Amino acid sequence: MLMKGMTKYLALLLLCWTGTVLADSKPVVQVAFMDFPGYSQLDESGRATGKAVELLRKLLVEAGYTAQVRILPAARIWLGLESGEVHLWPGVLNKPGLDEHTLLTGRDLGEVNIDLYYLPGQSPPDWPQGLRGRSVIMITNFTYTNTLKSILLNPELDLTLYKSNSHRGAVEMLRRGRGDYLLDYRAQVDVVLEELDGISLEHVEVAVQPMRLVLSRHSGFAEQLRQDLDAAFDRLRTQGVELDVTKQ
């Protein structure tokens, strides 16, 4: 009886040890975010923080992974996904040419709204024909959607396109009349308008895109990471955890 009990104990010990080894053997996930105040930004100590960052950390922990999180410019993220230096980026996959280098998780983290902004007192524009011959401000290195890009580049509309390196700068350009309209992400503009107390803009919604986790095919473990993250998402949702980043 003593030998039988000892055998069961050793088997259980071996099972626990094996599980620990497997968990420890999972690679560190290199995660990249764009700078987005309130959702993903650096704190005073240089650590990535924000609603989206903490949600993703929770997902990765549930999936059994640790992560190194960085805040990077959009261009660095695209290059990182193509090379495998960046393993994961939460966002909307709409950059031409990136599909062959990436996989998408099967669960949505919320919806991303893209709006056309204009100054109060103006009439709502008829999208897109009402923009004919006008000017539109956009964000440098930000992708929108292929449909929106084809509209903006349609020669029949004869649009003049201006670029800004920041969302705040784009809002300021619109306020100062350095463009007739601003095409931008609603969540980003909302943050800017909160900072610029007393400033308001009108808008019309032109696109809604689901946010997913975009994984680099060149990480060496993209398929397994996708399966693990989708399974972790389902477990957390069953537990009642809010997984829509826009509702955090």
Q: Which of 156, 183, 152 is nearest to 170 (CA)?
A: 183
Question: What is the distance between the alpha carbons of residues 136 and 156, in angstroms, rounded to a whole number?
Answer: 15
Angle value at C-alpha 217, between 214 and 222, nearest 5 degrees = 75
Confidence of residue 136 (pLDDT cuts 50, 70, 90): very high
What is the reported pLDDT for 7?
52
What is the average pLDDT across 141-151? 84
Please tell me whether residue 129 adopts helix, strand or coil conformation. helix
Helical residues (DSSP H) of the chain, grouped into ranges: 2-25, 51-63, 74-83, 146-152, 167-175, 186-195, 222-238
What is the reported pLDDT for 30?
98
In tens, the pLDDT along 14-29 reads 444 444 444 458 999 9
State if pTM tops 0.75.
Answer: yes
In tens, the pLDDT along 103-127 reads 999 999 999 899 999 999 999 999 9
In tens, the pLDDT along 33-54 reads 998 888 899 999 999 999 999 9
Tell the residue number behind the tokens 């000017």, with chain if given.
Answer: 135
What is the average pLDDT across 142-146? 79
